[in-house]
Amino acid sequence: MIRIDSVTKRYPDGTVAVDRLSLDIPDRSITVLVGPSGCGKTTTLRMINRMVEPTEGTILLDGEDIRRQPVTALRRSMGYVIQNAGLFPHRTIVDNIATVPRMLGWGRRRARERAAELMERVGLDTSLAQRYPYQLSGGQQQRVGVARALAADPPVLLMDEPFSAVDPVVRKGLQDELLRIQEELGKTIVFVTHDIDEAVKLGTMVAVLRRGGRLAQYAPPAELLSAPADGFVEDFLGADRGIRRLSFFPSAALELTTDAVIPADAPAERIAASDARYLLVTDSDGRPLGWTEPGEPAAGGIRTDRLLPHGRPFVPGADSLRVALDCAVLSPTGWAVAVDDDGRVTGVVSQQTIAEAIRAAHAQGRTGKTEVAR
């Protein structure tokens, strides 16, 4: 565990970057430091590997003051990922990744094998090994940055706005990749960002810092969204924190109905017999084709070319209530389509039913039984 114990950083000109900050950073999880610019989040991160020395206070790594070992040894035991990757432009990808192992005295061959292994782990084609950084896209460079930080298998990973400089699609890919890697490796990650969505998505714990380097709130993301400590945190979370909080509720418990689901070749009587406002038409495999109104089908059955689009379906086991609600809101009929992993319809659910599930989830959340589904 990394314990930051009432640490203050004051610069000679009197500026206070970090003000009596105390944080316990749990092992094998992602702790996110988030806040507006000037809140001291990067300074805090850089105090952990002593690129910045605190004015007051101590930082303990597994109970031992980080000042008790040589600074280079400390840094080599902590991977560091930076915005824009900060790769060495004059070294090939494989040599960039092998930097720390080589400094630690590994043989060239072993270091390169390790580098190749890491390239695969972070989703890079090993054919890029002999390229130079300028030949890679921003997203690929950032993956190299992550691989380089992981090269010597350090227990701690410090990440300073690593995904801020790439476009949103690439960023989402990198975030998902990080979560996947973390699941496999279980590092102690300290992650700095100014993006609250990124913090909520990645963090096991989130520390919200305010300008002047003071801690505003330190809590798991679900708690942050449901119970912001004060107006600053609430503002920082943004106007849609209610909607975002739904990401933490599973959609598995939603009550689905199959009354309004019919196959495309259903007999006319069955269609006429339905009292549903809309019917979801499926193909012979049970996959959704689109919505129709019971009065609509002419003689000769359903015209599959005249259906309303069914919109994006959700998977009850895997998706959150937020996704389910989103599907319902986007659906032309106001009903969300639920499918199984193979894309076969398992039922439909109305906005009203989802709203009831949200109320129930909130009630449960208030009694402290929040179930995190991600």
Chain residues binding another protein by CB under 8 A are 49, 51, 71-76, 78, 80, 82-92, 99-100, 103, 132-134, 145, 148, 158
Distance in Å, CB of 170 to another protein, minimum: 18
Q: 71 or 272: whose CB is closer to another protein?
A: 71
In single-letter form, the type of residue at position 38 comes to: G
Distance in Å, CB of 306 to another protein, minimum: 55
Q: 129 or 266: whose CB is closer to another protein?
A: 129
Distance in Å, CB of 123 to another protein, minimum: 20
Distance in Å, CB of 94 to another protein, minimum: 13
Q: 99 or 247: whose CB is closer to another protein?
A: 99
Q: 103 or 266: whose CB is closer to another protein?
A: 103
Q: For 40, left (φ over 0), alpha (ψ -120 to 50), or beta?
A: left
CB 328 within 8 A of CB 335: yes
CA distance 137 to 139: 5
Return the H-helix or E-strand segment holding 236. Answer: helix 231-237
Distance in Å, CB of 23 to another protein, minimum: 20
Q: 82 or 348: whose CB is closer to another protein?
A: 82
Distance in Å, CB of 48 to another protein, minimum: 10
Distance in Å, CB of 83 to another protein, minimum: 6
Q: 45 or 323: whose CB is closer to another protein?
A: 45
Q: 59 or 281: whose CB is closer to another protein?
A: 59
Q: 92 or 257: whose CB is closer to another protein?
A: 92
Q: 86 or 286: whose CB is closer to another protein?
A: 86
Distance in Å, CB of 158 to another protein, minimum: 7
Q: Give 236-245's long-range contacts (Cβ < 8 A, gap of 24+).
A: 236/34, 236/35, 236/36, 236/196, 236/208, 237/196, 238/196, 243/322, 243/325, 244/197, 244/200, 244/322
At which residue do the structure tokens 């032309």 appear? 332
Three-state DSSP class for 312? coil
Distance in Å, CB of 151 to another protein, minimum: 9
Using CB atoms within 10 Å of the CB of residue 225, give its burial: 0 to 12 exposed, 13 to 18 middle, 19+ buried.
buried
Q: 139 or 316: whose CB is closer to another protein?
A: 139
Distance in Å, CB of 134 to another protein, minimum: 5
Q: What is the separation, in whole angstroms, between the first and last Cα of the chain? A: 24
CB 59 within 8 A of CB 4: yes
Task: For helices 168-185 and 138-150, give the axis angle rounded to 10 degrees.
Answer: 20
Question: Starting from the edge strand earliest in sequence, which strands make up the sheet with 188-193, in order?
Answer: 78-82, 156-160, 188-193, 30-34, 205-210, 214-219
Degrees (nearest 5) of the Cα angle 266, 269, 275? 95
Using CB atoms within 10 Å of the CB of residue 293, give its burial: 0 to 12 exposed, 13 to 18 middle, 19+ buried.
middle
CB 347 within 8 A of CB 338: yes
